[in-house]
Amino acid sequence: MLDHLSLRIRVFLFFAALGFGILVAIGLGLGLGYRRLADPELLSAFVQGGIVAGFVALGLVVWVWFLFDVNVAKPIDILSGALRARAHADVTSEMDVAIARYLGDLAPAAKAAAHRLAETRSALAEAVMRETQRLAQEKARLETLLSDVPVGVLLVSGDHTLAFYNSQAVDLMAAGVAPGLDRRLFDYLREGPIRHAHDRLIATGDPDAATDLLCTTTTDARILSARMRLTPGGQGAAAGYVLTLRDVTADLSAHARREALLAEVFDRLRRPAASLSTLIGVIPEGTAGPAQMDSALRAEVAALSQAVTELARRHDEGRMDGSAQTQARASDLADGLKARLEAEGVGLNTQAADILLRANGFEIISLLDGIALHLGQDLAAADLSLRIEEEDSGAMIRLSWQGGPVSIGALDRWLEEPLDKMAPEIAARSVLASHATEIWPEALAEGRQSLCLPIRQARRATARPKPVVRTVVYDFDLLSRARTDKVAETPLDALTYVVFDTETTGLLPQQGDEIVQIAAVRIVNGRRVEGEVFDTLVNPRRSIPLSSTEVHGITEAMVADAPEVDEVLRRFHKFAEGAVLIAHNAPFDMQFLRRREAELGLAFDHPVLDTVLLSAVVYGQHETHSLDALTHRLGITIPEADRHTAIGDTVATADAFLKLMPMLQGRSLTTFGEVLTEVRKHGRLLKDLN
């Protein structure tokens, strides 16, 4: 209950209780004294004395309370109010600390805190203003950039609602009508491929993963090529994504025109070159002018004919090898064809294996769309069904129906028609040529007919490997750092370190044991550089005992194609050039490096620090200094799968050193030389390698 009262009231109640207690004590004392004397004549004297003593005591309490209230409680209240005003009401005026002159350093400290708060608030406001201006500029640049990019860009939330779109996206998916923010994406694009791609990206667990897909608009069944990438920060099903859209029809049309032009060029050149070659061949030698001119003319004609033939052959091979094709997911292709046919009033049942086809999805969809429409119009085909399945190293696309068979002549006529109304210059047959395939009719059981279209290259859809991280590696503080050639005098946080670890065939290098894996990371300016890692298996040119494999998990099969020790040690020496080497139990690892110095013509004469000895400096020799014990004390977790792997132990050792460094500096060990001097006091644990 007293917690809700002000400080001054609580002080007043304290002194009131104190005064009351003093009065009670005086009364009890006088009462006990009177009872012992038992003289009625002294009663009035005791009463008078008690009253005087009570008033004097009460006066003293009131006086002390008044002084305490005026000089302590009241100034504290005033200071707290002033601090609250500056904390919550943005008051910037100077605090009057004279009233709190009896509170020692409290008033100056409060004034300093308020002044610091005002400075921080002012600096923060300036920083926020600068950052706001910068963000506004970046926003303007981004809007300009995204409005001018030649592809449609959508930013979509995890529940598939639109949060951003540019003008190209409007043209591609909404026929020029703005789709509207906070609207479902599936109002404009068919749900199947989008949702499947989103689920695939989430399942990879890789925030940098991207996936390509074919999607179809809901209004006019337009086929769009798309790429999806998750946005940073989202997790699980709540992860949003960026979707870029591109209309492949225009690209296909331009590609077809180029192909037609090249074909025409080669056709026009091939005939005159052949005729000229034939003509030169029938003219007797020496009759086409002087002998020198005759031989030169024949050589040039032969070279021209050979060049035309070679270029035409390479052009035809380029069209046939499928290098211009992209990977299309079978389920996306099936969904795109179904959308096309449904927009034209034709139903289609689909069944697609989880495979990726090496094919131009737009061309295949357009080809099958035209054929399916002819089947319905010319043959009254019913119950159309599409099945895409794996077959050998490729895939088989089978379009089946209930009804009469299609003749070869009718199929040829259909293939001579334009592939798509938006690309009238492309014949449907050119799709077969560009994919190096054919299409043929085939009868099925129960009166069903089918058309078979094989795709030469396909593969099963598997989990995407984690991409190589390409980060920008920098530390601008290095530009202004003072350099010194004397390592001993260099501050610890100014040195460059290479932390490394090895896995070996055994523990006895002098008896022929060798390295099977070595890993290292660099520490620059007091931080581990994520992008600078050395990690490789090593072929030891000898067997790996089973007992060693049980420790580090490296088998002879794993190192069979790995580089040999000499090559790896040369690369590692270059990686560690100019750095201080750090290892946990460094004498063991350094043995495997230094025993090869003579044959390599290199010297591993780097300064060396050992985290075993650094741990002893910080925690004392009585502690256990294994890597597990050290990382446990420092709160570093080594994943079980990474323990006793070179890179796992290296990263753990590097993180341990980064935590030990400020602890060493706290013991006034700030330079390499000071640390080395202290480390040598623990030489009975391990030999110093410097």
Strand pairing of 608-610 and 580-583?
parallel
Highest mean pLDDT among 88-97, 211-220, 272-281, 606-615: 606-615
pLDDT at 413 over 70: yes
pLDDT at 611 over 90: yes
The rounded radius of gyration (Å) of the Cα atoms in the chain is 43
Q: Does the annotation count 644 as an active-site position? A: yes
Determine the angle formed by the axes of helices 106-148 and 74-88, rounding to 10 degrees: 10
pLDDT at 478 over 60: no
Contacts of 165 (CB under 8 A, 6+ apart): 152, 153, 154, 155, 178, 179, 181
pTM of the model: 0.44
Higher pLDDT, 293 or 364: 364
Average pLDDT over residues 493-515: 92
Higher pLDDT, 89 or 513: 513
- Which string of DSSP letters, residue by residue, matches 482-502? PP-S-GGGSBGGGS-EEEEEE
- Within 10 angstroms of residue 318's Cβ, the number of other Cβ atoms is 13
Name the band, by pLDDT with cuts 50, 70 and 90, for residue 91.
low
pLDDT at 286 over 90: no
Average pLDDT over residues 177-187: 79
Average pLDDT over residues 140-162: 80
Return the minimum-mean-pLDDT range out of 19-23, 209-213, 412-416, 473-477. Answer: 473-477
Three-state DSSP state, 44: helix
- Burial class of 591 by CB neighbour count within 10 A (0 to 12, 13 to 18, 19+): middle
Contacts of 250 (CB under 8 A, 6+ apart): none
pLDDT at 258 over 60: yes
Average pLDDT over residues 344-364: 86
pLDDT of residue 322: 45
pLDDT at 422 over 70: no
Which amino acid is it at 449? Q
pLDDT of residue 124: 87
Mean pLDDT of the chain: 81
Cα–Cα distance, 460 to 462 (Å, whole number)? 6
Cα–Cα distance, 522 to 575 (Å, whole number)? 9
pLDDT of residue 472: 44
pLDDT at 274 over 80: no
User: Could you tell me where the beta strands, DSSP code E, fall in 584-680?
Assistant: 608-610
Contacts of 626 (CB under 8 A, 6+ apart): none
Return the minimum-mean-pLDDT range out of 55-69, 71-85, 172-186, 468-482. Answer: 468-482
pLDDT at 127 over 70: yes
Cα–Cα distance, 187 to 189 (Å, whole number)? 6
Name the band, by pLDDT with cuts 50, 70 and 90, for residue 289.
low
Cα–Cα distance, 226 to 214 (Å, whole number)? 6
Higher pLDDT, 444 or 318: 444
Cα–Cα distance, 333 to 461 (Å, whole number)? 14
Name the band, by pLDDT with cuts 50, 70 and 90, for residue 180.
confident
Give the active site residue among 115, 196, 374, 644: 644
Run of H or E residues at 630: helix 627-633
Cα–Cα distance, 651 to 647 (Å, whole number)? 6
649: nearest Cα among 672, 618, 682, 627 = 627
Average pLDDT over residues 472-481: 46
Higher pLDDT, 185 or 324: 185
Per the DSSP assignment, residues forming a β-bridge with 539 are 564
pLDDT at 236 over 60: no
pLDDT of residue 474: 47
Contacts 24+ apart (CB under 8 A), 525-531: 525/475, 525/477, 525/478, 525/481, 525/493, 525/494, 526/493, 526/658, 526/661, 527/475, 527/658, 528/651, 528/654, 528/655, 528/658, 529/473, 529/475, 530/469, 530/471, 530/473, 531/469, 531/471, 531/473
pLDDT at 635 over 90: no
pLDDT at 470 over 90: no
Name the band, by pLDDT with cuts 50, 70 and 90, for residue 539.
very high
Name the band, by pLDDT with cuts 50, 70 and 90, for residue 480.
very low
Name the band, by pLDDT with cuts 50, 70 and 90, for residue 379.
confident
